[in-house]
Structure 1
Amino acid sequence: MIPAKEEVRNLLDQLPDDATLDDIQYHIYVRQKIDRGLNEIAAGRTLSGKEFDKKMAKWLEPHQRSAR
């Protein structure tokens, strides 16, 4: 595993010289989200397409009723 400081240095090297602090923070945030997702996959914490559809339908149900 690459140390966090080294990951940030690598990220900074890939960004343009005129990158703003907001740009840098955004790219760090995106990287964290990708890493978290990859860790979830590696740990087997994923949903099949059918499971996802079922959860989304249940979640959207109250919103669909109020839209009528």
Structure 2
Amino acid sequence: MGMVKDEARKIIDNLPEQATWDDLMYQFYIKKKIAASLTAAEDGNLISHEEVKKRLMME
């Protein structure tokens, strides 16, 4: 079985019985964002803390 299906089943299995569709979609969203962030970090697409502070102060 595919890795995505396995991960989706794990998320579903860990949700409480009273979980809503919104709860499920939120968990999928978070999983996707974390995976994208880890990939970006592995690829070296990072911004230093100082750069983030500088960018925020410009707004």
The gaps in structure 1 that reach 5 residues or longer are: 61-68
TM-score normalised per structure 2: 0.85
Alignment partner of 1:23 is 2:13: no
| 2:34 partner SS | helix
Q: 1:42 & 1:13 partners in 2: Cα distance?
A: 29
Provide the identity percentage.
33
TM-score normalised per structure 1: 0.76
Question: Which residue of structure 2 lines up, in the alignment, with residue 53 of structure 1?
Answer: 53
Please identify runs of 4+ aligned residues in structure 1 that moved more than 3 A.
none
Query: Max radius of gyration: which structure?
Result: 1
The gaps in structure 2 that reach 5 residues or longer are: none
